[in-house]
Amino acid sequence: MKTVIIDQNPQFSMYATPPHECSYLPEREATTVFIDPLFRKDSKIYSTLSQHGFRRSGEHLYRPQCHSCSACIPVRLPVASFTPRRNQQRTWKKNQDLQVTPTKATFKQEHFELYQYYLASRHQGGGMDHPSPESFVHFLTSSWSRTIFYEFRLQEQLVAVAVADFFDHGLSAVYTFFNPDYAERSLGVFAILWEIEEAKRLGKTWVYLGYWIKECHKMNYKTQYQPLEYYRQGNWHKDLPSGSASA
């Protein structure tokens, strides 16, 4: 795919992809902006760019910048202000028998097999079907980020993995995959709640939850975690965009 330079400063250039099919909203085109792949990245750069709506995918730092759509809104949660809802409190209590262990962000066959099972169950036809060990590593890890894989185990069985990046002021929830056979445990919800508590324990200010998309069921759940902050027009706001409603 060809790219064009859209901005350049003394540190790095930013590139934009040509318009392509949107992964979240049917019949819409998307454009992605990313930092020069050859630019040497580190956690400090990542920390700064996270405050401007950028996310990490593999080695790349990116954000949506579509010409005719602004549906993808970066969101973050100030962890000191978070109060869990009743259903979240129930999920938290239900999963207290799980053991959570931080591990290095490296390939493990056990992780990969759970990832395969999760995608086959939850994301068929979503463009991530039939992953390879290489695509797994390239998507979730990078050579420069401070990434941790948190293992969630029920006795000895691995039931979930939460991938998180750490930088100066926050934690970024990169991706979570889990065993869909344990639907009654709401493992995806529990992983976010656990990351919030981990951020508090480590003295972090925010948990970054990626992009909230009101019209996309897979992305609009994030308003369940309050109070959220929304990045719009170059600043973080504590209110929902005009015309939106909390899920």
CA distance 51 to 234: 9
pLDDT of residue 67: 87
pLDDT of residue 245: 46
Residue 152: name the closest of 107, 106, 210, 195 by CA.
195
pLDDT of residue 239: 84
CA distance 75 to 53: 8
Fold that domain 78-206 belongs to in CATH: Aminopeptidase (3.40.630)
The residues spanned by each domain of the chain are 78-206
pTM for the predicted model, two decimal places = 0.90
pLDDT of residue 243: 55
Mean pLDDT by 10 residues, the chain (247 residues): 45 88 90 92 92 96 92 97 97 98 98 96 67 96 97 98 96 98 97 98 97 91 96 90 53
pLDDT of residue 240: 74
pLDDT of residue 125: 58
CA distance 146 to 163: 11
